[in-house]
Amino acid sequence: MKSFIMLVFILFISTLKANILLSQTLTGNSPSNESKQSIDKLEMAERVKSEFLHAWNGYKTYAWGYDALQPLSKQPHNWYKNSLLMTPVDAFDTMILMGLFIEADETKELIFEKLDFDVDMEVQNFEVSIRIFAGLLSAYELDGDKRFLVLAEDLAKRLMKAFNSPTGMPYRYVNLKTGATSGPISNPAEIGTYLVEYGILSKHTGNPVYYQTAMKAMTAMYSFRSPLNLIPEGINVETGEITNPISHISGCIDSYLEYMLKGFILFNDSTLQSMWTPTIDAVNKYLADQKPEGLWYGQANMYSGTRTSTTYGALDAFFAGTLAMHGDLKRAADLQQSNYIMWMMHGIEPESMNYSNMEVENGSYILRPENFESAYYLYQYTHNEIYPEMGKAMFENLITYCRTDVAYAALKDVRTKEKRDYMESFFFAETLKYAFLLFDESGKLDFNKVIFNTEAHPYRRVE
């Protein structure tokens, strides 16, 4: 009872604080000078950079050449039988953006010496694509070494075998050597999160087949929408049978939505634009849930549009950034306020919670980036100082609860803050990158000239 009262009190205070800060600017009143001066952005950018180095040095010492470091046992870890250098490839462009050129050079050497895709090994198409294929492509754009492009194209040709299904929607798994596929029961995110990378590869190689393949998968997925323009969480890529008719913006659907908008912006593709408009309208009509305390997005049946649950979580936080990119700054700001409240409820955001009663459903935190990502997008579009303030508060909590003696660790439960022996590669690729960019004023990266893939790998916009 005592802890419930405490929680209600904390929620009330965070909502109030967020509301005051937001209303000052959304109503046209400029943020207070105090708020403007309260953050030394240069110092914050340096702090993020030094925390990146702390975690990176842990990886280097205990897991060099492996996919990831287990930060509590200090043991290396591979996803599959051979390393795909998940952490180094994912982290490389963050090093470049942070100006960590010695680390970037060592990483580059490791990649060219060790990375080999000609291995008899089944991998998850989506994860390898957004982290490795995408990381190699952005490395090529930022560094200019053609060997990055050669590796990226080699990998893409192997992964593309996954798209050999009767519908053109990819299987979830593909063998890098044999091209054998498995996993026909898939979801929109694992079907539609290829356009950005494949389009960029087509641009650099002059071969349109990559973009066409990704586009075919995306349009096939779109064709299975309901009459309400909602898409399902689960689908069979061989038959198109809907295996789960629940619609939402969360994991399994999230980056399908993100890539429809980003693909349209990056490639100026009118087909994508014509898909995006009804899609976002339906998402806002049936999934958005305006409560007296704030805006959330929940779950609904794709055929009836009726609400099936009121779950929101760390992954959903990306949507504030997507709304901002779409130009809906009001909803974007409202949702980012909810994101911040979710983060502050227990000092670190949970994987999921029920926004109707603010109860945690899944208390884990795996160093996810989406809350920082949306704060960064909102700041870029509004220049409202509340967003770096949010970023600073969240980053301080990250240091307090997730830092270990050698790196950073996931949490088993945000309520107990008990650590888990894992550090995802996206901590380097996304969480620390977006946190850094939120404070970085060097102008090295012009937000308006790039599009980030879903793993925060930036690509130059097509002129």
Residue pair 298/354 in contact by the 8 Å Cβ criterion: no
Give the nearer residue to ligand DMJ in terms of CB position, either 226 or 374. Answer: 374
CB of 422 to ligand DMJ, least distance (A): 13
Residue pair 378/333 in contact by the 8 Å Cβ criterion: yes
Residues in contact with ligand DMJ by CB under 6 A are 130, 255, 315, 368-370, 426, 430, 454-455
Give the nearer residue to ligand DMJ in terms of CB position, either 103 or 455. Answer: 455
Ordered DSSP codes for 221-285: HHHT--TTS---SEEETTT--EEE-EE-SSTTTHHHHHHHHHHHHHH--HHHHHHHHHHHHHIII
CB of 12 to ligand DMJ, least distance (A): 29
CB of 193 to ligand DMJ, least distance (A): 7
Give the chain's largest Cα–Cα span. 64
- Among all residues, whose Cβ is closest to ligand DMJ? 454
Give the nearer residue to ligand DMJ in terms of CB position, either 169 or 317. Answer: 317
CB of 455 to ligand DMJ, least distance (A): 5
Give the nearer residue to ligand DMJ in terms of CB position, either 174 or 253. Answer: 253
Give the nearer residue to ligand DMJ in terms of CB position, either 51 or 370. Answer: 370
CA distance 250 to 308: 14
CA distance 63 to 414: 26
CB of 371 to ligand DMJ, least distance (A): 10
Give the nearer residue to ligand DMJ in terms of CB position, either 79 or 426. Answer: 426
257: Cβ–Cβ under 8 A, 6 or more apart, which residues?
249, 279, 280, 283, 319, 322
CB of 428 to ligand DMJ, least distance (A): 12
Give the nearer residue to ligand DMJ in terms of CB position, either 368 or 385. Answer: 368
Ordered DSSP codes for 292-320: TTEEEE-EEETTT--EEE-EEEGGGGHHH
Tokens coding 253: 């659907």
CB of 127 to ligand DMJ, least distance (A): 7
- Of 6, 5, 26, whose CA–CA distance to 295 is shortest? 26
